Structure 1
Amino acid sequence: MRQTLRTLQIAFTYIGTIVGAGFATGREILQFFTQYGHWATLTIILSTGVFIWLGTKMMILARRIGAESYEDFNCHLFGKNTGGIISLFTLLILVGVNSIMLAGAGAMFEEHLGLHYQTGLLVTLVGSYLLLRRGIAGILQMNSVVVPLMLSLSLIIIFNTIDHPEARHFISLVTERSAFSAWMSPFLYTAFNLGMAQAVLVPMARHTQDDRTLTYGGIIGGLGIGFMLMAAHFAMSAHMPGILKFEIPMASIALSLGTVVQFVYMLLIFLEIFSTFVADIYGVTLQLAQRLPISRSVITAAVMLTCYVFSQFGFSNLLGLFYPMFGALSLVWAVRLIVTPMVPPGKPGAFEKTTATPAPKTVPRSTRK
């Protein structure tokens, strides 16, 4: 029972880390899959397989080498110097993404609850800081609540779309996009998301006792991500091409399902922002703790303060420059993960802290009686 619970926690954390605000709003799914018409169903299946394969391999490899942070993991893949540079660049992207998510939380409080923008920022920051004091256990527990709600909403959306006149559009939807772009899209999507998710998946794997739990967690998590991708694509395809004009495509669908579903949907968007924010801050804190002689609580507070400052001014222009670069880097990272051989089980991890046993002192012959 304990192993089953741990497996589900890993699966839910995997799903919750990948399924961020962009996923929940439908923009990512529309951009990477639905706009490619009838190709999308096949590319979602392909993407699901890659999530299962590479996500599971990343977690098992991280556990076997004893990686405490994503910097340790990148140093194993690329070597110490290159891995360190890639990790620093990832750090910048994570801080930028979290600044945007924090700003999104503030906007939700302002637009949908009628509260002040700063209230949303402060609630998110204080809640994240308190949860992060529990470490990886807090992240696992949070996703054990949020992800089942997300999966339930996906089922509601599917059942309400089945009777739609254009429900079969996801199979026959015509697109003007090239087949090459359609088949490259799932690789870009999975590589980018796994490159970001390593911030929490690597330390989570390090604190898991066996490979079997990670394997089942990776399989269930990958299937869950694929199911939610397919559910959103199924719903949005039925409303194509009109849904392209909406900034938050899934919100337009939620509006048609009633006030209760709309409220639950908006709550889930906030919880997904919150869960991804917490997970990324945790990963960044672990990396910086390896470089700085400062307590983790101080580092966490400093990172959150940085995100708060950037959320006041917006970070969109900078991310517009960094995102394409990180997308290309993520493809290189994913290819490197594919070709890196798996460390045999039972071999001491390269990053595990071991305490050497001192050699017994020998007494010189001249002093022996």
Structure 2
Amino acid sequence: MLKRTGKVLQIASTYMGTIVGAGFATGQEILQFFTRFGYWGSLTIAIATAMFIWLGSKMMLISSEIQAKSYEDLNKALFGEKYGRWISHFMLIVLLGVTAVMLAGAGTIFYENWNISYQAGLLITIAACYFLLRKGMKAILTVNAIVVPLMLLFTVIVMIDTFHTPGAGRFISLHSDHSVWAAWASPFLYTAFNLSMSQAVLVPLGAEIRDRKTIILGSWVGGIGIGFMLLAGHIALSVHMPGIQQYAIPMGGIAKQLGQTVQFIYVFLIFAEIFTTLIADIYGLTLQLQERLKWSRSMLTILVLLCCFVASQIGFGPLLSTLYPIFGLVSLGWLYLIIRKRMTEIKT
């Protein structure tokens, strides 16, 4: 029983740590996909949470069933040899773009909060990634097991502080000029993008876990945790709308109000959450590239980090606002196909 509980928490923390990346932890994703739509945000967050529980579980169960070595194995099982390969090619490009966003987010934190230059922040993050990734999946699980509970704790602190702030109930009454159709499309775009990106880690993780019940429980705990953090961020950001939109890292701006010590810890946790997703994406990319190129893992890690360093010169804000909506839209096709696919079709 204790062993299963440990595995459930391990799956949940890795799931949450993979989803809570640069856009989520900084508040930009919550702002773009939920808060800017006003009071509709809370309802659409509930939809996104349900989809994270259901489809995250389905993805890991299929991976466990077919013993997938990488996300290309999953896509081939879902969509056939030909289309699965093309989808994996596209995911490879998307993952590179998302990883560049993560790296740019880390550099922005160094610059905006710690008075360290953007370029130096990128290089420090790259060095840390390289040395950690030499330990493989074990490093990813360990980092998430430490960072995710701390992030949850500070999310609770921010939420409690928000409820003591005038206008704490604005998330219920906040109006928006954006289309209602855009608001209702946002949870599907958001879930599609994040789940398709999380393949890089959830597929090999699911393949390692043989127990069906453990995977399902882990997905429930992880999905609910993601939903809670989404809602907490949405409530906090709603209080400070529309002014909070000017920040590259909105949650960092809110943390300033909690005092210098708390702000430093919270900003460090934002960096840590970005870092967990960064190493997860790079790990998935190197697994995929290794199957194709047969190069050493170390060489591929250096190559991916170099590509992301070059792309991150564009900057965090422009990368996130341009790439995420496009990738989210294209990922809807992947979401539709995985929803439609039955488990019995995979097994036969």
Partner in structure 1 of residue 101 of structure 2:
100
Residues 150-185 of structure 1 deviation map (CA, whole Å, 9 limit, x = unaligned): 101110011101122211111122223332221111
**How far does residue 325 in structure 1 lie from its aligned partner after superposition?**
4.1
1:163 and 1:215 map into 2 onto residues whose CA distance is 36
Task: Give the 3 Å change call, closer, same or farther, for CA 254–43 of structure 1 in structure 2.
Answer: same
Contact 2:20–2:274 (Cα < 8 Å) also in 1: no
Amino acid in structure 2 at the alignment position of 1:109: F
Residues 107-136 of structure 1 deviation map (CA, whole Å, 9 limit, x = unaligned): 333443333444322322222122212211
Structure having the higher helix fraction is 2
Partner in structure 2 of residue 195 of structure 1:
196
Contact 1:65–1:343 (Cα < 8 Å) also in 2: no
| TM-score, structure 2 as length reference | 0.93
Question: What SS is found at the alignment partner of 1:256?
Answer: helix
Structure 1 residue 30 corresponds to structure 2 residue 31: yes
1:115 and 1:193 map into 2 onto residues whose CA distance is 30
Question: What SS is found at the alignment partner of 2:258?
Answer: coil
Structure 1 residue 267 corresponds to structure 2 residue 297: no
Contact 2:101–2:320 (Cα < 8 Å) also in 1: no
Partner in structure 2 of residue 11 of structure 1:
12
2:309 and 2:244 map into 1 onto residues whose CA distance is 32
1:160 and 1:315 map into 2 onto residues whose CA distance is 28
Bigger CA radius of gyration: 1
**How far does residue 341 in structure 1 lie from its aligned partner after superposition?**
1.0
**How far does residue 199 in structure 1 lie from its aligned partner after superposition?**
0.9
Where does 1:106-121 land on structure 2 (aligned, <5 Å)? 106-121=107-122
Structure 1 residue 74 corresponds to structure 2 residue 75: yes
Partner in structure 2 of residue 245 of structure 1:
246
Residues 17-66 of structure 1 deviation map (CA, whole Å, 9 limit, x = unaligned): 11111111111111111121221111111111111011111111111111
Amino acid in structure 1 at the alignment position of 2:91: T
1:307 and 1:177 map into 2 onto residues whose CA distance is 33
| TM-score, structure 1 as length reference | 0.88
Question: What SS is found at the alignment partner of 2:241?
Answer: coil
Amino acid in structure 1 at the alignment position of 2:65: R
Task: Give the 3 Å change call, closer, same or farther, for CA 76–277 of structure 1 in structure 2.
Answer: same
Contact 1:36–1:177 (Cα < 8 Å) also in 2: yes
1:126 and 1:132 map into 2 onto residues whose CA distance is 10
Q: Which moved more, 1:303-312 or 1:260-269?
A: 303-312
Amino acid in structure 1 at the alignment position of 2:334: W
**Identity percentage over the alignment?**
54
Amino acid in structure 1 at the alignment position of 2:85: G
**How far does residue 103 in structure 1 lie from its aligned partner after superposition?**
2.9
Structure 1 residue 224 corresponds to structure 2 residue 225: yes
Contact 1:93–1:319 (Cα < 8 Å) also in 2: no
Task: Give the 3 Å change call, closer, same or farther, for CA 249–122 of structure 1 in structure 2.
Answer: closer
Question: What SS is found at the alignment partner of 2:178?
Answer: coil
Partner in structure 1 of residue 205 of structure 2:
204
**How far does residue 243 in structure 1 lie from its aligned partner after superposition?**
2.3
- Identify unmatched segments of 5+ residues in structure 1: 351-369
2:302 and 2:16 map into 1 onto residues whose CA distance is 26
- Identify unmatched segments of 5+ residues in structure 2: none
1:183 and 1:134 map into 2 onto residues whose CA distance is 41
Partner in structure 1 of residue 289 of structure 2:
288
Amino acid in structure 2 at the alignment position of 1:92: I
2:43 and 2:176 map into 1 onto residues whose CA distance is 14
Task: Give the 3 Å change call, closer, same or farther, for CA 267–292 of structure 1 in structure 2.
Answer: same
Contact 2:108–2:316 (Cα < 8 Å) also in 1: no
Residues 231-282 of structure 1 deviation map (CA, whole Å, 9 limit, x = unaligned): 0111111222332333322222111111112101210121122111100000
